Amino acid sequence: MKRKFLVLPIVAVAAVVALSLYWSHWIQEQRASERAETRALITKRSSNRLRAAHPAPLPGAKRIETLHYAITTTADASQTARVAEAVEALYTAYSAFFPMRDAPIGDQEKLKLTLYAHQAQFKANNYSIPWAEAYYLRPVCYAYYARGEENPYHWMVHEATHQLNAEVSGFKKARWVDEGLATYFGSSRIEEGGLVPGKVDPNTYPIWWLPNSGLTGSLDADIEAGRWIPIRAIISGENAPNINSNVNRYYIQYWSLTHFLFHYDNGRYADAYKRLILEGGSLENFQKMIGPADRIEYEWYRYLQTKIQDLMPRNSDEESTTIEWSR
C-alpha cells in the first residue's frame, strides 16, 4: 500500500512536468509562427510600399496636375475633374484646421494620387488589404471613381486626408486620430466647390452604416454585447477586438469620436483636441487635455445617438422616440 501511495505522487509530478513541457513547446511554436507571420507581413508591406513609390505604368492612364496634386488617372476627363475639385476642396478646408506649407513650387512637391476608372480596375491593382476600397501607401493615394454613387469621390478624399496627415502636417498618427480625421473630412459635404467640415454627407463611408449600428441607448449593455468598443480600447488599442471582424464598427466610432470632439456643445473640446493631435493622441494625454475617459465616453455615446436619429428617415406622423441613458 505504501508503494502504491508513493507511486501516485510520482505519476502526478511526471504528468505535470510533461504538461508543462508540452505547453512550453506549444508556446514556443506559436511565437515562432507569429514571428514568421510578422516577418512575412513586413516583407509584403515593404514590397507594397516599393510598388507604391514606383508604380507600374497603367495602360491608358493620363496625368493631370492641379495646384497641389499630380493625378495619374484612367477615369474620363469629367470624372477626374470632379475628384480633382474634391481633393483641392479638402486641402483648403484642412489648411484651416492645421498648419500647412505653402502651395507646392515644383512637380516633386505635389501630392500624388492614382485614380482608377472603376472598382474592378482598382481591385486588380490593389496592394493593400483585400477588403480595401481605397488606400494610401506613401507617397501615393489609390482610389477609384465610384460610378453610380451620389458621392463618387469620397474614397479618395478619405485617403487624401491620410496623405495630408503624413506628408504635410506630419502628425505622429495615433490610429484613432489618423482614421478619425480621414473619416471626418471624407464624410463631409462639398457645397459650391467648398468642403464643409463636419456637415455630414449620408452618401459616404462609414455614414451609410450608422442606421445599422444596433446601438440600444444603453452604453453598458452595448459594451457587454460587443456593439460598442470602449473608448479606452479605441484610443490605446489595448484589449480591443480584431478590426478585420469589426471594420464598420471601428470606422463608425473613429468618425463619431472625431465629430464629437470637434462639434459637441458648440466645440467645447475642439481646441484641446487639436492640441492633443499634435501631442500624438495617447490615452494619458487624452485624459489630461480632454477629460476623464469615462465621462467623455458617456457624452460621446449620447452624441452619436442623436446623430443616428438625425440621419434616420422619418415620416411626418411618426411618433418621437425616447432613449433612456443608463450611464
Render 51-81 in DSSP notation, one character per residue.
HHHSPPPPTT-EEEE-SSEEEEE-S-HHHHH
* In-domain check, residue 115: yes
* In-domain check, residue 144: yes
Q: Output the pTM of the full model.
A: 0.81
More confident residue, 327 or 16: 16
* In-domain check, residue 12: no
Domain boundaries, position 276:
207-311
Say what percent of the chain tops pLDDT 70: 77
* In-domain check, residue 98: yes
Both 98 and 162 in one domain: the answer is yes
Both 68 and 118 in one domain: the answer is yes
Q: Which of 209, 182, 210 is nearest to 197 (CA)?
A: 182
* In-domain check, residue 139: yes
pLDDT digits (tens, 9 = 90+) for 162-207: 999 999 998 877 999 999 999 999 999 999 999 999 999 999 999 9
DSSP H or E stretch at residue 202: none
pLDDT digits (tens, 9 = 90+) for 62-113: 999 999 999 999 999 999 999 999 999 999 999 999 876 554 545 558 999 9
| Angle between helix 175-186 and 154-163 (nearest 10) | 140
Mean pLDDT of 12-22: 64
Both 66 and 159 in one domain: the answer is yes
CA distance 290 to 207: 25
Domain count, the chain: 2
Both 167 and 219 in one domain: the answer is no
Both 132 and 67 in one domain: the answer is yes
CA distance 281 to 292: 14
Position 123 scores a pLDDT of 96
* In-domain check, residue 192: no
Both 154 and 68 in one domain: the answer is yes
Which residues are CB-contacts of 162 (< 8 A; sequence separation ≥ 6)?
136, 141, 178, 182
Both 212 and 258 in one domain: the answer is yes
Q: How confident is the model at residue 324 (pLDDT cuts 50, 70, 90)?
A: very low
Both 165 and 212 in one domain: the answer is no
CATH number of the domain enclosing 80: 3.40.30.160
* In-domain check, residue 177: no
Both 167 and 211 in one domain: the answer is no
Both 70 and 167 in one domain: the answer is yes
* In-domain check, residue 49: no
Q: Is the pLDDT of residue 157 over 90?
A: yes
Among 36-45, 162-171, 240-249, 287-296, name the one with the lowest average pLDDT: 36-45
CA distance 139 to 281: 23
Which residues are CB-contacts of 99 (< 8 A; sequence separation ≥ 6)?
169
Both 212 and 303 in one domain: the answer is yes
